[in-house]
Chain A
Amino acid sequence: MSLLEVKSLRARHGLLTALHDVSFAMDKGEVLAIVGANGAGKTTLMRCIAGAHRPAEGGIALAGEDGIALVPEGRRLFPGMTVRDTLLLAACREGQWNFDAVLETLPQLRPLLNRKTGHLSGGQQQAVAIGRALMTNPELLLLDELSLGLSPVAVEGVYDAMPKLKAAGTTIILVEQDLRRAMAAATHVMCMLEGCVVLSGGAGELTREAVMDAYFGLNREAA
């Protein structure tokens, strides 16, 4: 049985239908990159999976009891709290991710433990947000717009952790605008356009050109 199964999902924002019959499944340990232009429905899909948006139709089934952790767009940290307290705050379940394991995966946080998160750079804050989500030992980790608003150096620092997360068997859905990084980090890629899944497959099977064509809807126009 798949870890996550999304079936015929349809979601609306008022009169606007943001998702049309979206279906996919994920196995444990997979990293799925969802790419697509603004308004494609990526964030709505993430919010539906995280339980923050009620779908109009369809179903989402998650195997296991440990739940989902979302690293939201904008990070939503506690500016007055130290990095150490932010990480310890989320330690609510036993599992492979504890304080030491998170610091091993995100070593850039080690010298920052006693600093308040409000005083950190964007890249450092993103690392704290990922660490906080890992500390909850989720079955599924949702990373929304990981590189948004970060400098290239900061993005590099955050993506350095991805191989370690994959090696630890963490199941991840990654919403990303940066196609190159998304394809390098993921095991599977799904491209969305206007609320529909227009292309999906293994990251090694899809060419960058095919994803780019799907991203901009070129294949559909040609058809």
Chain B
Amino acid sequence: MFWINQILQGTLLGGYYALLAAGLSFLFGVMRVINLAHGSLAVLAAFIMMVIYHGLGISPFGGLALMLPVMALSGVALQLCIIEPSLKSGPLVPLLATFGLALITDNTLFSIFGANTQSFAADIGDLSYDSWNFGSIYISQLDALVFTTGVAVLGGMQLLLSRTQIGRKIRATAEDEDAARLSGIDTRMVRVAASALAMMMVGLAGAALGARNSFDPYAGGPQLIYAFEAVVIGGTGSLWGTLAGGIALGIAQALGGAVDTHLSQIAGHALFLLVLIARLQHGGQITSYIRRLRVRFA
């Protein structure tokens, strides 16, 4: 029962990682850009919620509704001011530009809020510690909410991409931008919309971070690493793969932590490395195996 509980806790933790990685995966899928400021922007979202709560006295759930449009606007600015100009200079420049943005974001937050760790776990009432008990298995209500949010966000994005006109335009732009223009699509506007959507997902991840963990201005680095690992484990550019990657990372950390507390992080990184090596050495075989499985279960 102990190990089943560990796997369950790892799965719930994986929901947070999937939520965290959703924006990174989406932005990479559409624009082939790895946003190295991803973690720092999630922390920025958490600080925005904190300011809304302490400054305006609005509850964290109300603050979320105010923070998400701010993050969408930051996505528009990110696309127009950083990603678009830097993409003109080659694929490596956006990496450097977003790395620079991460440094600026971290240090600006530090200069405003100092080095103190923050959290709004205490501001969300019983939700931060209440759980459902099933014998010796405990399910945190907050973890369940974050997991459900992660699945809902990824499922919602999948529906948006497959069923709506903006989703079709995003997919067309991701596949072949020149051909998308020939089809009458304003690809610049599509990329701006995709960036705004990605930043709203980052905002949700920041809210989850602030509710379930403590954070400080330099917490963005580890968040970026978790998000990156979830995306790589699950396969780049695939939203359901990102969910699977996040869950695999969470379970690896939970099982590693059950063996030894210090092994928690190492187990996650080890899984990431193993998957990366397997993809590099046996990428073709793995892809064809997954394709065969899809055909079999289609």
Contact = CB atoms under 8 A, between A and B. Distances in A.
B168 A88 contact: yes
A61 interface: no
A interface, size bucket: 10 to 19
A155 interface: no
A72 B175 contact: no
Given A81-B168, A85-B168, A92 B184 contact: yes
A136 B184 contact: yes
Nearest to B171: A81
Contact of B175 (A67, A70, A81, A88): A81
A78 B182 contact: no
Given A85-B168, A89-B168, A89-B169, A78 B175 contact: yes
A90 B165 contact: no
Given A89-B183, A90-B183, A80 B165 contact: no
Contacts, number: 40
B175 A80 contact: yes
Interface string B19-49: 0000000000000000000000000000000
B167 to A, nearest CB: 9
A47 B83 CA distance: 30
Contacts of B175: 78-81
Given A88-B165, A89-B165, A81 B172 contact: yes
A180 interface: no
B185 to A, nearest CB: 7
Interface in B213-234: none
B260 interface: no
Q: Is the interface of B mostly helix, strand, loop or mixed?
A: helix
Interface residues of B, number: 15
Nearest to B186: A92
A18 to B, nearest CB: 21
Contacts of A79: 175
A220 interface: no
B179 interface: yes
A201 B178 CA distance: 35
A11 B182 CA distance: 21
B176 A78 contact: yes
A15 to B, nearest CB: 26
Interface in A70-127: 70, 72, 76-81, 85, 88-92
Contacts of B179: 76-78
Contacts of A89: 165, 168-169, 172, 183, 185
The 9 A-B residue pairs with the shortest CB-CB distance in the complex, in nearest-first order: A76-B179, A89-B168, A78-B175, A90-B183, A136-B184, A92-B184, A85-B168, A78-B172, A89-B172
Given A78-B175, A80-B171, 4 more contacts: A70-B182, A78-B180, A89-B185, A90-B183
23 contacts: A67-B184, A69-B184, A70-B182, A76-B178, A77-B179, A78-B176, A78-B180, A79-B175, A81-B168, A81-B171, A85-B162, A85-B168, A85-B171, A88-B165, A88-B168, A89-B168, A89-B169, A89-B183, A90-B183, A91-B165, A92-B184, A136-B183, A136-B184
